[in-house]
Amino acid sequence: MIVKEEFLGRLRKIFDLNLYEVRVWTALLSRGVSTAGELSNISDVPRSRTYDILETLEKKGFIVMKLGKPIKFVALKPEEVVERVKKNLVREANEKSKRLDKLKEEEILTELSSLFTQGVKFVEPSDLSGSLRGRQNLYNHLDMMIREAEKTITIVTTAPGLNRKLEMLMPALEKAKKRGVVIRIACKIDSSNKEVAKELSKVAEIRHMPKMRGRFAIIDGKQLLFMILDDETVHPNYDVAIWLSTEFFAKAMEQLFEAAWKGFKKI
């Protein structure tokens, strides 16, 4: 059996399998029904590992063990595998979510919070900074900053960036508005995001910024998040942001924004 490594690599990412698992699975797909010994030879996976791998694949819903001697394994239709994997992922995610929700009520979270509070006392404000890679990590951090906001949230973004804000940050922004936080968003408004701007205007004051291109957020005049790359040219996985916790610089940036904000057109 000859399967390109590139194809195996794609399967590993999509189905969250290791190299041996994906080799044994594709080997079985090529045969339909086979023994562990045959699959070991076809896939170049050590025989000592093949039985464990087949057992794992069975638990994950990729294959079925056929009764009888010698023991054989049956491949399932790829479409069926996709459905089974989806159901397992949803079930596992729900179970993990329940465990994390339950953790909020347990003593262990109090102990973890106590450790963090004690540790922060010894941290210089300038040390509360870092870089974030990947757009999902970036938005997770911005979401956290918004959830902790007490007074003001200032966001400057691009036209496509505004669309992402609705999808990724709307729940946190709605809660911030209910807390009395003043939210302002400046970006270029065009046909691609006009409806999104109207939706976001329910929780924030939106102003049209036709020429200025920037991507940053200021929270309470204390924290900043700078996205340093052009979101229209960089792949989401390679997006980069710098997070800073510095009241001195944040207030200076907010003052510069105030001057520009007056010249932006309300929508």
CATH number for the domain including 169? 3.30.870.10
Identify whether residues 200 and 257 lie together within a single domain.
yes
What is the three-class DSSP state of 230? coil
Return per-residue pLDDT of the chain as tens, 267 residues.
Answer: 556 788 888 889 889 899 999 999 999 999 999 999 999 999 989 999 999 999 999 988 899 888 778 889 999 889 988 988 888 888 888 888 888 887 777 777 777 767 656 654 555 555 557 889 999 999 999 999 999 999 999 999 999 999 999 999 999 999 999 999 999 999 999 999 999 999 999 999 999 988 778 999 999 999 999 999 999 899 999 999 999 988 888 889 988 888 888 877 777
What type of residue sits at position 216? F
Is 197 a domain residue?
yes
Is 107 a domain residue?
no
* Cβ contact 207:229 at 8 Å: no
Identify whether residues 136 and 200 lie together within a single domain.
yes
Q: Which runs of E-coded beta strand occur in 125-260?
A: 129-133, 152-156, 182-187, 205-208, 216-219, 223-227, 240-245
Identify whether residues 165 and 46 lie together within a single domain.
no
> pTM for this structure?
0.62
pLDDT, residue 23, reads 93
Identify whether residues 68 and 194 lie together within a single domain.
no
* Cβ contact 219:148 at 8 Å: yes
Domain with 70 in it? 5-81
Identify whether residues 37 and 138 lie together within a single domain.
no
Identify whether residues 148 and 217 lie together within a single domain.
yes
Provide φ and ψ at 150, rounded to 5°: -115, -30
The number of domains in the chain is: 2
Is 133 a domain residue?
yes
CATH number at residue 19: 1.10.10.10
Identify whether residues 158 and 227 lie together within a single domain.
yes
Provide φ and ψ at 212, rounded to 5°: -70, 130
Is 164 a domain residue?
yes
Is 112 a domain residue?
no
Helix runs in 46-191, H state only: 47-60, 78-103, 107-120, 135-148, 159-178
Identify whether residues 147 and 257 lie together within a single domain.
yes
Identify whether residues 185 and 62 lie together within a single domain.
no
CA distance 117 to 40: 53
pLDDT, residue 119, reads 56
Identify whether residues 65 and 138 lie together within a single domain.
no
Identify whether residues 46 and 140 lie together within a single domain.
no
Is 64 a domain residue?
yes
